[in-house]
Chains A and B, each alone.
Chain A
């Protein structure tokens, strides 16, 4: 059972805006920042967002992150077929004294 809760699936049509939620607690998201990762089929996870809403260079501005209280969200605007992947949130957990991941959300582009 992951300490961070994500919906198992999400979907959208090309051009649409979709959001993926990540719910935690005071010991993780409530106290620390959130990062997001994209995992395309058969590949390693790739950093999309760090420190709640910062994009590494090379990540399109179609991807954005936000955090409020003990929850965070990843938004993808102008959805493209190549965005079909698994998405994971992560945050440091003070009780574990280490990072925890969400269970992942499989995004399907219809």
Chain B
């Protein structure tokens, strides 16, 4: 059974870089069938997709965050990571990692997230 677990600092100062790691167990990030995603949820609010990485290293980011986001993968450690630079209070959120399955068909894209990590709260404050 695939499980994902986020880790990283729970408090980051404004203007600094948020860094989180997602460790996978029960499977391999080298699987070519999936993408490895980060999704965040500000307190009391909805979900926002941050971006994903494929095992080959190719990435896709939310345009609203693209200038500040870097997602990387370490297949030797079965991990993928998120870096978000120049953070502000608006970046305070629970950050989830998730496995994304994306199938591109003639009639469109079918994608879904399963499983999700439990999430880690990152607070941006001085």
Contacts of B119 in A (CB 8 A): 44
Q: Is B26 an interface residue (CB 8 A)?
A: no
Q: Do the beta carbons of B63 and A33 come within 8 Å of each other?
A: no
| Residue interface mask A81-102, B partner, CB < 8 A = 1 | 0000000101010101111111
Q: Is B74 an interface residue (CB 8 A)?
A: no
When C-beta atoms are compared, the residue in chain B nearest to A102 turns out to be B46
Contacts of B111 in A (CB 8 A): 32-33, 35, 92, 99
Q: Do the beta carbons of A101 and B96 come within 8 Å of each other?
A: no
CA distance A83 to B112 in the complex (A): 21
Expressed in whole angstroms, the minimum distance between the Cβ of A8 and any Cβ of chain B is 10
- Which of B46, B61, B102 touches A101 (beta carbons < 8 Å)? B46
Q: Is A2 an interface residue (CB 8 A)?
A: yes
- Which of A43, A56, A98, A101 touches B118 (beta carbons < 8 Å)? A43
Q: Do the beta carbons of A32 and B109 come within 8 Å of each other?
A: yes
Q: Do the beta carbons of A56 and B114 come within 8 Å of each other?
A: yes
Q: Is B62 an interface residue (CB 8 A)?
A: yes
Q: Do the beta carbons of B116 and A45 come within 8 Å of each other?
A: yes
Contacts of A96 in B (CB 8 A): 62-63
Report the tally of A-B residue pairs with Cβ distances under 8 A: 74
Q: Which A residues between 44 and 82 are near B, CB-CB below 8 angstroms?
A: 44-47, 50-51, 56
Q: Do the beta carbons of B60 and A47 come within 8 Å of each other?
A: no
Q: Do the beta carbons of A47 and B114 come within 8 Å of each other?
A: yes
Q: Is A104 an interface residue (CB 8 A)?
A: yes
Q: Do the beta carbons of A99 and B46 come within 8 Å of each other?
A: no
CA distance A97 to B46 in the complex (A): 19
Q: Is B11 an interface residue (CB 8 A)?
A: no
Expressed in whole angstroms, the minimum distance between the Cβ of A74 and any Cβ of chain B is 14
Q: Which A residues between 1 and 49 are near B, CB-CB below 8 angstroms?
A: 2, 31-33, 35, 37, 43-47
Chain B contacts to A: CB under 8 angstroms: 46-49, 51, 60-63, 96, 100-102, 108-119
Q: A37-B47, A43-B118, A44-B116 are in contact. List 6 more A-B contacts (CB 8 A).
A: A44-B119, A45-B47, A50-B112, A88-B46, A92-B111, A99-B111
